[in-house]
Structure 1
Amino acid sequence: MKQINYWKLSSIILLLISISWGAFNYYENKEAGLQSAEVIQELRVAMPKGKLVTANQPIINQEKEMPKQKIDDYWYIGEIRIESLGIELPVMDQWDYDRLKISPSRYQGNYFNHNLIIAGHNYQTHFGPLLYINKGALVEIIDVNGNVYRYEVVDMQELKPTELSKLVQRENQDWDLTLFTCTSSTLARQIVRCRQIDSDI
């Protein structure tokens, strides 16, 4: 009888832990979405109407910095839009785990040199929908001057956390933008490769 009670108690404790963890994740996801929405509104107020940047722009000096806009304590390089997934999010200029709780962030590279890499949490209000993206989807980066960089998704893959060095490998690859987030299990990273294009697809 004692053993049965022990198993019942263990089951109840595990259930409570699971409910608490789910509630915590829900709160973090909701809070992240609210913070991103506030930032993007501020970005759009300051953002002038720009132009479409053509895909055949030459690679320039890698030291050239992308234009940035400061909001509160952080610098942003613009906005990412993926209409097919309902994504409209600000993009921070630098990344760390605290910044990723507010918005996706530049992991490295830049759009001038066709090697921009953006990381984002797998919150459903952030990059979680990337797990369901399709090849051919349109991705737009809008810089803080309102200029639009358009990309087409050309490849998706999963990498182990220990394989993140492959994010920057360019050998025999034709891409200009990489997006990545954790998979649902958090045991791998969903990698989305994109090629810059000139017009809607």
Structure 2
Amino acid sequence: MKKKLWILPLLIGILLIGGAVGLVVYNMYESNAAFEKSQDVMAELKQLIPDPSPASVTTEASTEPPSDDLFAPYEEPSTQPPSEMRSVNVGGEEYCGYITLPQLGLELPVMNGWSYDRLKMSPCKYSGTIEGRDIIIAAHNYNSHFGRIKELSQGDEIWFTDADGMQYFYRVGYTENIDGYDIDHMLGGGSSDWDLTLFTCTLSGQSRVTVRASLEEEEK
């Protein structure tokens, strides 16, 4: 009987490894599906949005209320109210523009307002505006979306092209991890410490990888 006791831990180990492999495969499938969807939207957006031209910004306070949470674990899904940023409709969804991350080789559409279902398709505007210099954009941690933003370094460029074809140039200032429930920290500092924020969940889901960037004042 004792000789067979080793079989149980072996079987448990095999099941755990199989579950982990299955999870990785599923995440890869979701990431690829999200990337294909976002690139289909990008193709349509570029037909609807004028060719990019450099833009200047004057500061206006944002009146948009913050979200209930930062996609905190175990919270009920919530939907961000529509913002005052102009948008274009693609496939029944409103997009306020698209974001380009040259260092990561990514160009992705940005939905004008967020929900959990929308995040499966595209990065979403979480709060703020370009004019308010406090825009926050969130996305899932798929490698095809924001899963690699932790690789961005100080001085790296981020471009945002709005629905009118106006292009804004930002440079990464710093990266930080923010607790999944710390809304005040996420929203704090806009227009004074940073002008654009990108964030996504860590693998544990307990905190948010957050990239802060400042607007380049000079036109390119």
TM-score norm. by structure 2 comes to: 0.84
Partner of 1:99: 118
Identify the range of structure 1 (58-67 vs 166-175) with the bigger mean alpha-carbon deviation: 58-67
Instruction: Measure the CA separation in 1 of the matches of 2:159 and 2:191.
Output: 24
Q: Secondary structure at the match of 1:131?
A: helix
Partner of 1:15: 17
AA matched with 1:177: L
Instruction: Measure the CA separation in 2 of the matches of 1:23 and 1:58.
Output: 45
Partner of 2:38: 36
Where do residues 33-182 of structure 1 align in structure 2 (5 Å cutoff)?
33-55=35-57, 57-59=58-60, 62=63, 65-170=84-189, 173-182=192-201
The structure where helix makes up a greater share of residues is 1
Instruction: Measure the CA separation in 2 of the matches of 1:182 and 1:171.
Output: 20
Identify the range of structure 1 (69-78 vs 184-193) with the bigger mean alpha-carbon deviation: 184-193
Instruction: Measure the CA separation in 2 of the matches of 1:42 and 1:199.
Output: 30
- Please provide the CA RMSD for this pair: 2.0
Instruction: Measure the CA separation in 1 of the matches of 2:127 and 2:162.
Output: 16
Q: 1:118 to 1:61 in 2, by over 3 A?
A: closer
Instruction: Measure the CA separation in 2 of the matches of 1:190 and 1:103.
Output: 17
Q: Which runs of 5+ in 2 are unaligned?
A: 65-82
Superposition deviation, residue 60 in structure 1:
6.0
Runs of 4+ in 1 over 4 A off after TM superposition: 60-64
Q: Give the aligned length.
A: 200
Superposition deviation, residue 182 in structure 1:
1.5
Q: 1:171 to 1:31 in 2, by over 3 A?
A: closer
Q: 1:200 to 1:18 in 2, by over 3 A?
A: farther
2:214 to 184, 191, 195: 195
Q: Secondary structure at the match of 2:169?
A: strand
Superposition deviation, residue 160 in structure 1:
1.5
Q: Which runs of 5+ in 1 are unaligned?
A: none
Instruction: Measure the CA separation in 2 of the matches of 1:23 and 1:192.
Output: 27
Partner of 2:72: none
Q: Secondary structure at the match of 2:174?
A: strand
Instruction: Measure the CA separation in 2 of the matches of 1:37 and 1:198.
Output: 30
Superposition deviation, residue 200 in structure 1:
7.3
TM-score norm. by structure 1 comes to: 0.92
